[in-house]
C-alpha cells in the first residue's frame, strides 16, 4: 500500500447562493501519485450497461455503498489529474461530519492507496508492453465494497463476456437492489443477502442467470445457515479462502480467485486461466498460439512479485482497447 497517499485532505460543507447549508457534505483530497477515475472505473463499468450498481459518467462515479447497517449514497468527482490529482467525494449531510468510514470505503473501492509504481516499472521494462506505461499511469485496482458482492458477481461472470455479465448484474440491481438519493440523483446499491436469499431459483432465472441460478441458491443457503462466514473467511490466508470457496458447488478456482482479488483485495492473486488474459498473452507473447494457464503463469514470471497486478493491468488495457 502507498504510504502518505494524501498530500491534502479537507472537509467540505456546501452552501447555496443564499448561504443556506446544503444537504450534501463532502471532502476534497489531493493525492501524491497519479490517479485517473475514468481509467480505473471504465475497466469495469460500460457506459451503456448501467447501473451495475455503479453509475459512471466522464470524471464521475456514484453508487450506494453499505456502511454497517446503513446504505450511503456517494459520488466521486475528479477535479484535476496530473502528478497531484484532486478528487471530491460527496454524501448526504444526514450522515454527519464523521466521514472516516466513507473515506476508507471509497479508498478501498478505487484503490488510490495502492502503490502501482512497481507495476508500471515492470511494464515499462518489458519491450512488448512498454507502450502501455503512460496510458495506464492513473489506473488503480478496483474492489467491490463487500466480499459478498464480489463473490456473486464472480459467479455471474462465469463462461460469458464481461459485458453479458454486467447486463445480468444490471437486472439484479434494478429489480432487487436498494436505492438511495444524493441531491436530485437516484443511486443504486447491490442487492443484499437478505433480499436475494428469499428468491426462488425460478425468480433468479427470470434475471437471465441460466445455469448459475442453482449455484447462487446454494451459496445463499450456505451463508444463511452459517456454514460459510464471509467476514471470518476474509481474515484467513489467501490459499485457505480459495480452497474453501473452490469446494462449493458452482465455484471453481477461477471464480474463487476472482472473488479474492476483487472482494478481499488480495492483489497477489489473478485468475490465470481467465479466457481474456489467455487471449492477451497469446496475442502478445505466443504469436497467436493458444495459451493455457501454465503459459500465462510462465510469461508472468518475468514481472516478478507484481506479476498478478501486471496481468490485471493488461486485462484493463484490453477493456480500454489499448491492446
Domain spans, the chain:
6-115, 275-319
Any idea of the CA torsion for 159, 247, 169, 257, to the nearest 10 degrees? Answer: -70
In total, the chain counts a number of residues equal to 323
pLDDT over 80 (residue 282): yes
Distance CA 101, CA 32 (A): 21
Q: What is the pLDDT of residue 20?
A: 53
pLDDT over 90 (residue 231): yes
Any bridge partners for residue 13, and if so which? 25
The CA-atom distances, in angstroms, between 260 and each of 63, 141, 154, 263, 267 are 22, 13, 10, 5, 8
Grid cell locating 105: 470505503
Indicate the average pLDDT of the chain. Answer: 92
Instruction: Report the alpha-carbon angle 221-222-228, nearest 5.
Output: 155
Q: What is the pLDDT of residue 18?
A: 54
Q: What is the pLDDT of residue 94?
A: 81
pLDDT over 60 (residue 151): yes
CATH of segment(s) 6-115: 3.30.310
Distance CA 59, CA 1 (A): 24
Any idea of the CA torsion for 237, 239, 240, 244, to the nearest 10 degrees? Answer: 140
Question: What are 65-95's pLDDT values in tens digits?
Answer: 999 889 999 999 999 988 889 999 999 888 8
Mean pLDDT throughout 253-262? 96
Query: CB-based contacts of 200: which residues, under 8 Å, 6+ apart?
Result: 217
Question: What are 113-133's pLDDT values in tens digits?
Answer: 999 999 999 999 999 999 999
pLDDT over 80 (residue 207): yes
More confident residue, 235 or 7: 235
Amino acid at each position: 500500500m502507498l504510504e502518505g497517499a494524501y498530500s491534502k485532505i479537507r472537509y467540505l460543507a456546501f452552501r447555496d447562493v443564499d448561504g443556506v447549508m446544503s444537504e450534501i457534505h463532502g471532502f476534497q483530497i489531493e493525492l501524491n501519485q497519479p490517479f485517473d477515475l475514468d481509467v480505473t472505473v471504465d475497466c469495469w463499468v460500460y457506459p451503456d450497461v448501467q447501473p451495475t450498481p455503479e453509475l459512471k459518467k466522464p470524471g464521475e462515479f456514484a453508487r450506494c455503498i453499505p456502511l454497517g447497517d446503513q446504505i450511503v449514497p456517494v459520488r466521486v468527482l475528479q477535479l484535476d489529474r496530473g502528478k497531484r490529482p484532486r478528487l471530491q467525494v460527496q454524501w448526504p449531510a444526514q450522515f454527519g461530519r464523521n466521514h472516516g468510514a466513507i473515506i476508507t470505503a471509497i479508498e478501498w473501492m478505487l484503490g488510490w492507496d495502492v502503490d502501482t509504481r512497481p507495476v508500471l516499472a515492470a511494464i515499462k521494462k518489458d519491450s512488448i508492453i512498454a507502450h502501455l506505461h503512460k496510458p495506464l499511469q492513473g489506473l488503480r485496482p478496483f474492489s467491490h465494497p463487500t466480499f459478498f458482492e464480489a463473490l456473486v458477481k464472480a459467479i455471474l461472470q462465469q463462461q460469458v463476456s464481461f459485458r453479458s455479465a454486467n447486463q445480468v448484474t444490471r437486472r439484479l440491481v434494478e429489480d432487487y437492489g436498494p436505492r438511495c438519493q444524493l441531491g436530485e440523483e437516484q443511486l443504486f446499491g447491490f442487492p443484499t443477502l437478505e433480499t436475494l436469499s428469499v428468491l426462488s431459483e425460478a425468480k433468479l432465472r427470470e434475471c437471465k442467470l441460466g445455469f448459475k441460478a442453482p449455484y447462487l441458491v446454494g451459496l445463499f443457503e450456505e451463508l444463511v445457515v452459517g456454514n460459510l462466514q464471509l467476514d471470518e473467511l476474509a481474515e484467513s490466508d489467501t490459499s485457505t479462502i480459495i480452497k474453501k470457496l473452490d469446494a462449493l458447488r458452482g465455484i471453481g478456482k477461477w471464480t474463487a480467485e476472482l472473488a479474492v482479488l476483487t472482494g478481499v483485495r488480495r492483489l497477489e492473486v489473478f485468475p490465470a486461466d481467465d479466457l481474456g488474459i489467455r487471449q492477451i498473452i497469446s496475442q502478445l507473447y505466443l504469436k497467436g498460439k493458444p495459451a493455457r494457464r501454465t503459459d500465462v503463469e510462465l510469461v508472468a514470471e518475468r514481472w516478478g512479485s507484481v506479476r498478478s497486478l501486471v496481468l490485471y493491468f493488461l486485462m484493463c488495457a484490453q477493456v480500454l482497447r489499448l491492446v
